[in-house]
Structure 1
Amino acid sequence: MEQAQEVPFYTEEDFGKTELLPSYRVDLRNPQNEELDAFINANVVADWSQLTWKQIGKPYEVRTVAKSKQEWERDHGEMTVKTSWEFFNRSFHEWFVKDVPGALADSKKELRKHLARFHWHEVKEALGETVRLSFWNYVHRVQDGVWDPRGKRALFEGLDLNKPRILFLGAAEGYEAMQLHAMYPEGEIVMVDYDDFCRTDRFGHFPDRYPFLGMNSRTGLPRVWHKNQMNIHYEVDDIRNLPFGKEFDVVLSVGLLEHFPDEFKAEALDWHRKFLKPGGYAIMTTPRLQWKSKLFYTVMADVMNHTYRELMDIRQMGLYVYEGGFEILRHGYIKAHNGIVARPR
């Protein structure tokens, strides 16, 4: 039997390349961080202490609910937050590992078959799947708007960090912490999620070949990093139970704050302060309030909408962070996310 050829990892020889693979995009353009998809320093608020909720209004709440959540709750009653998160993780992960072009071709074939037989219920289901696959293909593979490596690198640029310890709250597959580690190498990442599926599958099956553009600390030159070259520990626990003190240079969260109604936001923000060394950075993102995001959470409702979720503009996100006791050093947005770099006041 002929042995399968081992696919090589990416190296510095691949600088400048961008490549569409079946389930994601590789982007090794601009290794010097020039001409990045810019982190827009919005500077829309000069003095956060003068901003009020009356001026800006509250975030937009996503109310469309996944069918699987509705069906489960009909039999069992209201989902707990942990169960909702578990449903979301498994649903979302299925899309990250899809051969999207292959699945899209199969879906279109099914759609044509049902159209020919006038099976209208099946037509509706096949059409919905085709639309979702087409949308996911555009958002995640073509535009790379979920991982968004160039935007995330722009958000993380210019920090005063040397071999940092990074704590990632609600880490899921851990993408952003690995990108941050690549840019400021030789430190340590501690990823935290209370769903073990995130450790075993979302992080565990994150592609080893995926290349992160970062730096070689010894030469000061750009370098390609991979997951297996990083110092990563994964903790499966409720954030409220973590035993750490103020020992991290960065506390990071991506798409965490918007899952908490207002009565719990102060507690969620306190987690970002609780584990920071003096002078450390809290870095947070939330999905942007824009028509593209509303469309995404409508089309992808059965994949995404198992948990409480809001869409915010940068002023709304920033006011939560400021009221949570932080000095906002930088605020702005990238493709699909607001981004804030802050320190405790």
Structure 2
Amino acid sequence: MSIEMMHKPEKAPFDESNFEFTNLLPSYRIDLRNPRNEMPDKFFNANLVSDWSQLSWKDVGKPYEVKTMSVDLRNWEREHEQKMPVKTSWEYFNRSFHEWFIKDVPKERSAAKEQLFLNMKQFNMNEVKTSIGELMRLSLWNYAHRVEDGIWDPRGKRALFEGLDVKKPNILFLGAAEGYEAMQLHAMYPGGQVVMVDYDEFCKTNRFAEFPDTYPFLGTNEQTGSPRVWYKKQMNIDYVVDDIRNLKYGKEFDIVMSVGLLEHVPDAYKEEILDFHRRFLKPGGYVIMTTPRNQWKSRMYYRVMSDVMNHTYRELMDIRQMGLYVYQSGFDIMRHGYMKVHNGIVAKQR
């Protein structure tokens, strides 16, 4: 079912007069700074590798595997006496993660502090431990998503996406979840179409459907080329619920992208994941991918947030490891670097 929403949203609280404005809302940050992508420090174009053909796994080592898994996953596997299926783990993750995106974080942090003080007053030490854990998760989420805006990271993503030689591109987003990155890309290169694909229907009916209509994306006015504010309901989006292995598209997309997909499978399946990007790409088209960075902040995040985040196999990579997977799968890397919490690569098929 096509979701073609080209009218102006009922409430469009921001426009071009609000450039350089930023504000913390209860669940996320509004950030209209740097509308012309002139700040150089939001995507570090690392240029760590000048010749990918000379790089080997001996040089870079293998990614860091996150092994602290969620309580829900461990309980499910204990109850069913089997390993949780991949699709089930993705469904558990989506529901858990979405709950955090829609939280009123300041309100919940305040309630968590009150509960902690009450449990301490009553010397209920088991509940004190639980309350401390919840407060730690809320504080870390508040910093990572609201204060730093490291998960959506609009300035970093725009810097990664800038300078593509496309007009009115057809964009395919594999494993789309709420679809944030494709909407940001569509705002920057308007006039085409986005096809989002995820095999968990919850991603379409909840994660995407509940993404706020009033969230402003900084993009481009296709008539003048000047910066412009876009909203979800002004974009041409088709959300497909299916396994990406079942897609019947040909090589018809100018851009094929994924965000946080490659790191969810061990090496035996990475070539298949990368082939999904190749098989739908027009000649000369772009592949855009991100993965979480292997840094101490990310390791801490996935440990503290394990009950929220860790329902599936997960790795943390440095940009050379990510790039080597991409290069050895038959792509030339046009740009590689990193943002606040993600690696980013723009590539073309060799």
- Matching residue within 12, 15, 19 for 1:11: 15
Cα distance between partner residues in 2 of 1:239 and 1:255: 15
Q: Does 1:237 align with 2:242?
A: yes
Cα distance between partner residues in 2 of 1:247 and 1:291: 40
Cα distance between partner residues in 1 of 2:224 and 2:52: 40
Q: Does 1:26 align with 2:30?
A: yes
- Paired amino acid for 1:15: F
Cα distance between partner residues in 1 of 2:348 and 2:319: 17
Cα distance between partner residues in 2 of 1:154 and 1:222: 14
Q: Does 1:169 align with 2:185?
A: no
SS of equivalent residue, structure 1 residue 26: strand
Q: Between Structure 1 and Structure 2, how many residues are aligned?
A: 340
Cα distance between partner residues in 2 of 1:7 and 1:331: 37
Q: Deviations over 1:207-260 (max 9, x none)?
A: 000000000010111100000000000000000000100000000000000001
Q: Does 1:52 align with 2:25?
A: no
Q: Kindly report which structure 2 residues correspond to 1:71-150, keeping only aligned pairs within 5 A, or say none.
A: 71-76=75-80, 77-150=82-155
SS of equivalent residue, structure 1 residue 41: coil
Q: Kindly report which structure 2 residues correspond to 1:60-75, keeping only aligned pairs within 5 A, or say none.
A: 60-75=64-79
Q: Kindly report which structure 2 residues correspond to 1:186-335, keeping only aligned pairs within 5 A, or say none.
A: 186-335=191-340
Q: Kindly report which structure 2 residues correspond to 1:176-191, keeping only aligned pairs within 5 A, or say none.
A: 176-191=181-196
Cα distance between partner residues in 2 of 1:37 and 1:151: 8
SS of equivalent residue, structure 1 residue 251: strand
Cα distance between partner residues in 2 of 1:204 and 1:310: 29
Cα distance between partner residues in 1 of 2:36 and 2:315: 35
Instruction: Choose 43-52 or 306-315, whichever is displaced more.
Output: 43-52
Cα distance between partner residues in 1 of 2:336 and 2:12: 38
- Paired amino acid for 1:245: G
Give the TM-score of the pair, scaled to structure 2: 0.96
Say if 1:155 and 1:91 are closer, same or farther in 2 by CA, change over 3 A: same
The residue aligned with 2:5 is: none
Q: Deviations over 1:130-181 (max 9, x none)?
A: 0000000000000000000000000001000100000000000000000000
Say if 1:165 and 1:334 are closer, same or farther in 2 by CA, change over 3 A: same
Instruction: Choose 18-27 or 6-15, whichever is displaced more.
Output: 6-15
Preserved CA contact (<8 Å) 1:37 1:150:
no
Structure 1 segments (4+ residues) deviating >4 Å: none
Cα distance between partner residues in 2 of 1:73 and 1:279: 45
SS of equivalent residue, structure 1 residue 307: coil
Cα distance between partner residues in 1 of 2:347 and 2:40: 22
What displacement does 1:8 show?
4.5
- Paired amino acid for 2:263: E
Q: Deviations over 1:94-122 (max 9, x none)?
A: 00000000000000000000000000111
Cα distance between partner residues in 2 of 1:313 and 1:43: 13
Gaps of 5+ in 2: 1-9
SS of equivalent residue, structure 2 residue 107: helix
Preserved CA contact (<8 Å) 1:30 1:36:
no
Cα distance between partner residues in 1 of 2:39 and 2:348: 27
SS of equivalent residue, structure 1 residue 273: helix
SS of equivalent residue, structure 1 residue 40: coil
Say if 1:341 and 1:105 are closer, same or farther in 2 by CA, change over 3 A: same
- Paired amino acid for 2:46: A
Q: Deviations over 1:289-343 (max 9, x none)?
A: 1000000000100000000000000010000001111011111111101100001
Cα distance between partner residues in 2 of 1:250 and 1:161: 9
What displacement does 1:25 show?
0.1
What displacement does 1:30 show?
1.6
Give the TM-score of the pair, scaled to structure 1: 0.97
What displacement does 1:45 show?
1.0
- Matching residue within 155, 163, 167 for 2:160: 155
Cα distance between partner residues in 2 of 1:130 and 1:305: 19
Cα distance between partner residues in 1 of 2:222 and 2:345: 26
Say if 1:24 and 1:171 are closer, same or farther in 2 by CA, change over 3 A: same
What displacement does 1:9 show?
2.6
**Percent of paired sites with the same residue:** 69
